[in-house]
Copies of this chain bind each other. A is one copy, B any other.
Amino acid sequence: MPLRLTTELLTLHTRHPFIIARGGQSEYRTLMVKITDADGIEGWGEAAATRFYGETRETVEAALATYAPLLGDDPFQLEAIESRLETALQRNAAARVAISTALHDLVGKRLGLPLWKYWGLDRVKAPRSTFTIGIDTPEMIRQKVAEAAEYPILKVKLGSDDDIGILRTMRDATDRELRVDANCGWTAAHAVRMLPVLEEFGVTVLEQPVAPDDLDGLRQVHRRARIPIIADESCVTAADIPRLVGRVDGINIKLAKCGSLREALRMIAIARAHQLTVMVGCMIESSLGITAAAHFTPLVDIVDLDGAALLRDDPFTGAAIAGGQVTLPDAPGLGVVRR
């Protein structure tokens, strides 16, 4: 009997409107994907579409309709299924990773193994996660920093009209470790000018200062920086990594970009071979999608998996980042349950 795919719309709300360099909102719609096998065992995944990568809820639904008949009947055929989907319709990573996640959940449940254990990992190795403060007014930033008291590492979104004001507000409010994500919001020249400012405010990591295709810009910033420069929007899949070598210090892997849990593991191996720092990030998504990424955090250096922690109505529990520490579930598969 072929694996059966069904979906369910999830409507998620952030505690505060979440603003980054290219805009923001407070309501997010993701799709929950359920894959059911012949014995009625269900695997779950989440598709968090982002327009920046060419996906909306509607394209995800359309892509899933293309993918569903290609699943076959054996969830253990992970490599073959994933390559069949990509051959049938490339890009559409959020849609594909929802399937990849659901298949891995199903395999883990059939084996009675949590995903981290299926992958041979040690869950105590998971590093701490940052918590992100979006672009906002000084007053709201102070309030958000206070609300995030339990998180020892904060990440602040820049690329706004008043980046220095935001940094000053953050530093006035806290002496916790501070990382910066410019989300492509700067030119290379501006990023280079910002480097001493970031140092002055004690920023420890700078993510994606320039536009995705501005690889020369990345190199200029990287050459002059004393803190690690991490490629996010410039690094979508494994194929992007070779050209980033020598231009950045590390890469940010997101499932909604790379489209597959197996691809994420491959990206880690490739980054390691090039002595690149490995970060894992997320979209605004529920604990369903977050937990999929959390399972491979024992292999990474920098974790930014606050997508569900930013919500006020997360429909699931799974991996947690309470106190900043990633805690992986012990139940089979993803170990995600409905609240």
Closest beta carbon of chain B to A45's beta carbon, Å: 15
Interface size on A, as a range, is 20 to 34
Q: A113-B111, A245-B242 are in contact. Are A120 and B76 (CB under 8 A)?
A: yes
Per-residue CB contact flags for chain A residues 115-126 toward chain B (1 = under 8 Å, else 0) read: 001011110010
In the complex the two chains form, is A299's CB within 8 Å of B79's CB?
A: yes
Distance A299 CA – B111 CA, assembled complex (angstroms): 23
In the complex the two chains form, is A273's CB within 8 Å of B266's CB?
A: yes
Closest beta carbon of chain B to A159's beta carbon, Å: 29
Give me the interface of A with B, judged by CB distance under 8 Å.
Answer: 76-80, 107, 111, 113, 117, 119-122, 125, 238-239, 241-242, 245, 262, 265-267, 269-270, 272-274, 298-299
Interface of A is mostly: helix
Residues in B with CB closer than 8 Å to A272 are 238, 266
Q: A76-B120, A80-B121, A242-B245 are in contact. List 15 more A-B contacts (CB 8 A).
A: A77-B120, A78-B120, A79-B119, A79-B298, A80-B125, A238-B269, A238-B272, A238-B273, A239-B273, A241-B273, A242-B273, A266-B269, A267-B269, A270-B270, A270-B273
Closest 10 A-B residue pairs measured CB to CB? A78-B120, A266-B269, A80-B122, A269-B269, A270-B273, A238-B273, A79-B120, A270-B270, A79-B121, A76-B117
Residues in B with CB closer than 8 Å to A269 are 238, 265-267, 269-270
